[in-house]
Amino acid sequence: MEATMNAPPAVTLPGNAPVGVPTEPPADGAPAPAKKKRVAKPRDLSDYTLGERNAVGLLVSVPADFNPKLHKPLGAKAFADSAVFFDFKAGLARKTAERYEKLASQARQLGGVGAAEAKKAKKLLNFMEQYKALEAELAAKGIDIKSLANTGS
């Protein structure tokens, strides 16, 4: 058997040359159009107002009010010093780790709960966390939670 027998057949797609077959230059003898090269553009951070900046416009400290859901992503080139960038990335990693620790804790608490009940159980756990936070906040203000619970019924 020849090696060419195992080659995939050329497939013609609508409006395109067959796949796997090199295209030929136009018939009139003109050279084929050159492909455009993509040039990396430097990020424009002029509209990004968070954080303290140096004379060049690079961040010299981690922006305190940075929110990855609202703001443009910050890369290493946005910072004047790589140490500040790595502090920034470490902070994001800590937040992610805390979120995963919370999910692991919930999974341990739920144990062998089935999938249908797991959603309701997670909702209950979230409500319990919110209740504890509100209870602590009200206790700090001097409001007795137990007396409120007795007056409600």
Three-state SS for 11? Answer: strand
> How far is Cα 89 from Cα 83, in angstroms, rounded to an integer?
10
> How far is Cα 134 from Cα 16, in angstroms, rounded to an integer?
64
Whether the per-residue pLDDT at 84 is higher than 90: the answer is: no
Whether this prediction's pTM lies above 0.75 is answered by: no
Contacts of 21 (CB under 8 A, 6+ apart): 10
Average pLDDT estimate for 128-140: 89
pLDDT band at 19 (very low <50, low <70, confident <90, very high): low
- For the chain, give me the number of helices (H) and strands (E)? 3, 0
